[in-house]
Structure 1
Amino acid sequence: MTQGIDQGAGTGMATGTGSATGTATTAAGSATGTAAIGEALFAAARAWLAEDPDPATRAELTDLLEAAESGDPVAHGYLEDRFDGRLQFGTAGLRGELGAGPNRMNRVTVLRAAAGLAAFVTEQHGTGQVVAIGYDARHNSRRFAEDTAEVMLGAGHRPYLMPRELPTPMLAFSVLRLGAKAGVMVTASHNPARDNGYKVYLGDGSQITTPNDALIAAEIDAVGALADVPRGAVEDVEAVPEDVIDAYVARSAELVAESTHRDLRFVYTAMHGVGFELFRRVLTNAGFPEPISVPEQQDPDPDFPTVAFPNPEEPGALDLAFALAAEHDADVIIANDPDADRMALAVPDAAAPGGWRRLSGDDVGMLLGHYLATAGRRGTFATSIVSSEGLAAIAADAKVGYARTLTGFKWISKVPDLAFGYEEAIGYCVDPRHVNDKDGVSAALVTAEFAAALKAGGRTLLDAVADLDRVTGNLVTTQLSIRSDDPEQIQTMMRTLRRTPPAALGGVAVTEVGDLSAGGVALPPEQGLRLALAGGWIAVRPSGTEPKLKCYIELGDREAADRGPVVKRIAAVRAELEEWFGQFA
């Protein structure tokens, strides 16, 4: 680019007329090119309109197109954004903002995804296969699920549609219970209200991984005109039988002992999602009292009116639960995210602001892992490469298998002989033979049993955390997110961190920098970095769903009497790491 500018400047200085002529010619060519690009954009929008069956997105796109064609630059920019590529199908399925165009979640995008998935199932197994389909309470979730069911029926398969909005783990359970060859869950989990998503499972009840994601994506690319995609009628689609839902409730009760330890006061929040009904049934069926539910967040609401971000990990998301728990002198707070596949815990702590402390995902994962291992659970205990290494110490102490995987439950669920799995992003799998995915409902039940048993002995979950510190060596974890709307800036930060890392952070030496890997499992270059520290590590990777870098930090000290010194040290490391990233602002 610099070379071209220099040459143009030289020509202009040599012959002024030539410069003017060249400028005029360039301007005319630029105008012609811009006009051609604009017309191609308008043509793409009109073609999309011709296929879109949704009156709402058709109206949205019609207004936008008319404004852009009349010369409105803002409308033109919005239109470009919607047609600048398309949502890519991958191991997370699809997820994105609702709206018209191929770069948004809408009925056209979903119908094409469903047609591609139907073709994949046919290619792999032939026609007539059972496909389980679930949905949450987000905007358009039910419509997307019904569209998927109609396409599956039209392709000669046998779709089963959830009878109502239910949690993601109910869909994962149904895939195995119904003997389905595939499953679809329409959800964007804990994303903002403007988003929706399309999560795909295969017959083992786990989410898709490579190479199946690429095979399904190729089938989606091969879908022709939507008018040529055969579709059945939604009224001919079978509902997932109620006895399948009853079976999930009954199976969950089998996870806990027939114990008298059921004295537990717990506040619960569904975070405006779909967890309350199933959570209440599972807990009360196992003998626990009715939950004290946060009323403002109990019923599904796709706008999530009481939270800025519907994720229990986000600051402020549990404020209503904290207030209700203080009012009722609760023993514990249990929170699900909107599709109830994740669970967060908070416990009374006089030293914490407001008197309540939210336990980290690593804290809860290690508590559950230790509880299950010491209760006799055998098999392999697994976690991800960005989660605490404490589970390795717990597994060794209990003499059970241990594995580390790539980030995400789609990988954890593939571990042979999996007995328990967790990831730091508050996801836990306590019953992999029946729900081969993270499940915030069954995990909450096992946690309630553990907390009630501790209470009966005059102890708390914080006491159990202190017990674990002696096994794991006072490990403490924390996180840091660095947001950037510029993908190139994110890559620049990664490259700089790899080539010229800080020598120390918070007084802790950085001893090595390499690809984020563990146990022989490696990520592609630039995708993730691992910094070895004296007494710990830092993992840095780009988020798969948001424009940010995610940093995971862990430190420990076996010689310390408790966590106190480690907590101070890790706070200093985090602060200096944030300062280091500040140079790119």
Structure 2
Amino acid sequence: KRQVLAFAIRHLGAAAGVEVTASHNPPRDNGYKVYLGDGSQIVPPADAEIAAEIQAITSLKDVNRPDTGWETLDDTVLSAYLARTDAVLSPTSPRTARTVYTAMHGVGKDTLLAAFARAGFPEPTLVAEQADPDPDFPTVAFPNPEEPGAMDLAFAKARATTPTPDLVIANDPDADRCAVAVNTGTDWRMLRGDEVGALLAAHLVRRGAQGTFAESIVSSSLLGRIAEKANLPYEETLTGFKWIARVEGLRYGYEEALGYCVDPDGVRDKDGITAALLITELASVLKEQNRTLLDLLDDLAVEHGLHATDQLSVRVQDLSLIADAMRRLREQPPTELAGLPVTKAEDLTRGTDTLPPTDGLRYTLTGARVIVRPSGTEPKLKCYLEVVIPVQNHADLPTARARATELLTSIKRDLSSAAGI
């Protein structure tokens, strides 16, 4: 479990940590994640220095492999992590929300159940077919809650569960991401990562949280509005928790790809277990008021404007298609999308006043924003879209949502054409 590793580095005073995981990628993939002694993922120049050391090895026979000096950890570290999760919740908060949970064939089940039991929440109803680790991920094409079809079994379990649960919660296989779905009254709907990010931020503000709120540039600008209204510091970073976790004075950080850091002093990375605890606490608070997460999202839209986000994500077999699309956009940047003029076009390879260089493009439009970048972990070109619609009152929300959907659909179409994808 990735968050337990990130916790253990700081807890044990280790110099570094390594995790081998496919995370949310296909079963044939593998991943190698490295953390430094501060408990955060590596950033330049450490990544290049490690790669150089690897390249310098000419034979495995030359690699020193000591037979002594190893210590295999027991469950003491996990127990310390679970004890730390208690601090995420308010001591006096209600614990009434009922959940359906899927571990997505990963390692999250036992830790999440233990954390929920410690907190006093009702025991989650498990999606049995996905509850235990299975590296073949037999029930999903991709073990990522964001992918189409990945949540089908969880929704079926929720529909069959009596009484009706308040939430569906999913972790990805290494349990660092947290997906949340709610009942709309007619069926279940996945909340976008930006929606959960705003909900957790609003909950922490109401609880009096102090410190910096941070997010990556591809996430919704609503977090900045919430922080500004609460007179809290706010920062944007490059994509990835390796950057978010390094924000000075961080109190809360999130990324639209279902990643939330709600206890940065304990885990300097996204953590799907503590995020699940906090969103279930919020659902419990609202349940006591006969309200839901959707009601709070409506309130935030009226208070700050409707911030609607979407993504155009293109998976490719040939990586040159991604390079071609980025080159096409650089050589012929769009001057308008969905009829909205592009007021600013930024090539992020040059960096900005607040961001180091990265392979990405950012377009600012009148009432909208688009960021295009190659995925850092998958063979995808990812385009992040946001439109902001002013809302006067709750009665205006249906019209605002219809307008937002129309704009996002048009931006997708025009951007796809401009990029040649």
Partner of 2:55: 221
Higher mean displacement: 496-505 or 472-481: 496-505
Query: Which is worse superposed, 484-493 or 431-440?
Result: 484-493
Give the partner amino acid of 2:65: R
Unaligned runs of 5+ in 1: 1-166
Judge conservation of contact 2:97–2:283 (CA < 8 Å) in 1. Answer: yes
Give the secondary-structure state (helix, strand or coil) at the position aligned to 1:463: helix
Match of 2:405 among 559, 567, 573: 567
Q: Which residue of 2 aligns with 1:343?
A: 178
Secondary structure of 1:238's match? Answer: coil
Aligned length: 411
CA offset digits 1:488-544 (Å, max 9, x no partner): 4322322222232333322323333212466521424xx211111110110001112
Matched, 1:193 2:27: yes
Q: Which residue of 2 aligns with 1:208?
A: 42
1:330 to 148, 165, 187: 165
Partner residue, 2:199 = 367
Paired residue type of 2:299: D
- Cα deviation, residue 214, structure 1: 1.4
Larger Rg: 1
**What displacement does 1:216 show?**
1.5
Tell whether the 8 Å contact from 1:515 to 1:522 is kept in structure 2 after alignment.
Answer: no
Task: Check conservation: 1:393, 1:471, Cα contact below 8 A.
Answer: no
Please name the residue that 1:173 is paired with.
7
The amino acid across from 2:389 in the alignment is: D
Letter in 2 for 1:300: P
The 10-residue stretch of structure 1 (283-292 or 236-245) with the greater mean CA deviation from structure 2: 236-245
Q: Kindly tell me: are residues 252 and 519 of structure 1, through their superposed partners in 2, closer, same or farther at Cα, counting changes over 3 Å?
A: farther
TM-score by length of structure 2 reads 0.93
Q: Which residue of 2 aligns with 1:34?
A: none
Q: 1:399 to 1:493 in 2, by over 3 A?
A: same
Task: Specify the code of the residue in structure 2 equivalent to 1:576.
Answer: D
Shift of 1:483: 3.3
The correspondence of residues 443-482 of structure 1 with structure 2, limited to 5 A, is 443-482=275-314
Aligned to 1:252, which of 48, 67, 85? Answer: 85
Give the aligned residue type for 1:577. L
The change in CA–CA distance for 1:260 and 1:557 in structure 2 (over 3 A counts) is closer
Please list every run of 5 or more consecutive structure 2 residues that lacks an aligned counterpart in the other structure: none
> Distance between the aligned counterparts of 1:271 and 1:416, measured in 2?
33
Give the secondary structure class of the aligned counterpart of 1:497.
helix
Partners of 2:252 and 2:262 within 8 A in 1: yes
1:412 aligns with 2:247: no
Letter in 2 for 1:189: S
Matched AA of 1:228: D
C-alpha RMSD of the superposition? 1.7
The 3-state SS of whatever aligns with 2:291 is: coil
Quote how far apart the aligned CAs of 1:484 are: 3.4
Match of 1:549 among 381, 390, 410: 381
Q: Secondary structure at the match of 1:239?
A: coil
Q: What residue is the counterpart of 1:149 in the other structure?
A: none
Give the helix-richer structure, 1 or 2: 1
Aligned to 2:268: 436
- Cα offsets for 1:306-358 (capped at 9, x unmatched): 0010000001000000011111111110000000000000001146xxx1110
Residue type at the aligned position of 1:214 = A
Amino acid across the alignment from 2:99: F
Matches within 5 A, 1:132-531: 167-233=1-67, 237-259=70-92, 261-328=94-161, 329-350=164-185, 355-516=187-348, 520-524=354-358, 527-531=359-363
Instruction: Give percent identity, aligned residues only.
Output: 52
Query: What per-residue deviation string (whole Å, max 9, x for no partner) do you get for residues 526-576 of structure 1?
Result: x21111111011000111222221000000022463242222222222233
CA distance in structure 2 between the aligned counterparts of 1:238 and 1:413, rounded to whole angstroms: 28
Q: Deviations over 1:68-87 (max 9, x none)?
A: xxxxxxxxxxxxxxxxxxxx
Q: Secondary structure at the match of 2:327?
A: helix
- Residue identity matched to 1:194: R
Alpha-carbon contact 2:167-2:181 (below 8 Å) kept: yes
Task: Please give the TM-score of this superposition, normalised by the length of structure 1.
Answer: 0.68
Give the whole-Å Cα distance in 2 for the aligned partners of 1:357 and 1:229.
51
Mapped contact 2:302–2:391 kept (Cα < 8 A):
no
**Which portions of structure 1, spanning 4 or more consecutive aligned residues, are displaced by more than 6 angstroms?**
none
Question: Hey, what does 1:159 align to over in structure 2?
Answer: none
**What is the CA deviation profile of residues 59-116 of structure 1, one whole-angstrom value per residue up to 9, with x for unaligned ones?**
xxxxxxxxxxxxxxxxxxxxxxxxxxxxxxxxxxxxxxxxxxxxxxxxxxxxxxxxxx
Q: Which amino acid aligns with 2:355?
A: V
With a CA cutoff of 8 Å and minimum separation of 6, indicate the structure with the bigger relative contact order. Answer: 2
